Structure 1
């Protein structure tokens, strides 16, 4: 059997805010939280755990594959909230989406400053 991705811990300035942000944007399921973790569950049973580390952390990049209808809903939420977003990771095309890899994509920052990428087609 090949390895399957199970969970990851995402550093958060405010784990509760991050959990709500991701739950709303990714339309994720709630999951039981414990200890320092605020947990949500995305497709494939993958658990995202948000926790506030006792040190400063660099921004990371997280990409999520969405179907077209979900992408449309997410883009409406992003643009309706007046949150900045870009068509490219260099942030040179503000307020746009891209049509790379035969689909659509958008980049934005989460409340802790991590780079999110929402795409409708996988790169491979």
Structure 2
């Protein structure tokens, strides 16, 4: 059986603030507390577990999470990003400000969470041969 991702841990300055940022964009329920984590369950059984970092915010290393969503979910997420006045980009390195991209036969957008982690929302998996 191939391995499956079960969970990932994201370091944050405030675990619930970061988890709520993500759930608010996803339109998902309130994060759950599980031991030292604020947990965000995803549709495929994977959880994103936010932990309060033991280092200060200047030493949190940026991570990138990409979420595959439907076209309808993308419209809702993009709407929430715009409604909140958040900066967003069409490219992963903060290029194409306030734009979405249309690469890989779908749409994509990038936004930073409160600790600078990159959150990507895309409607179609990457096509490697392009």
1:13 Cα deviation from its structure 2 partner: 1.1
Query: For structure 1, which segment, 79-88 or 53-62, has the greater mean C-alpha deviation from structure 2 after superposition?
Result: 53-62
1:61 Cα deviation from its structure 2 partner: 0.9
Deviations 1:69-110 (A, max 9, x none): 000000000011110001111222111000000000001101
**Which among 40, 62, 78 is matched to residue 75 of structure 1?**
78
1:47 Cα deviation from its structure 2 partner: 1.2
TM-score, normalised via structure 2 length: 0.89
CA gap 1:78/1:31 in 2 versus in 1, 3 angstroms = closer
TM-score, normalised via structure 1 length: 0.93
For residues 6 and 45 of structure 2, what CA distance do their matches in structure 1 show?
7
Gaps of at least 5 residues in structure 1 are: none
For residues 27 and 6 of structure 1, what CA distance do their matches in structure 2 show?
21
- Give the aligned CA root-mean-square deviation in angstroms: 1.4
The answer as to whether partners of 2:19 and 2:31 remain within 8 angstroms in 1 is no
CA gap 1:100/1:20 in 2 versus in 1, 3 angstroms = same
Residue in 1 that maps onto 2:40: 40
Residue in 2 that maps onto 1:63: 66
Gaps of at least 5 residues in structure 2 are: none
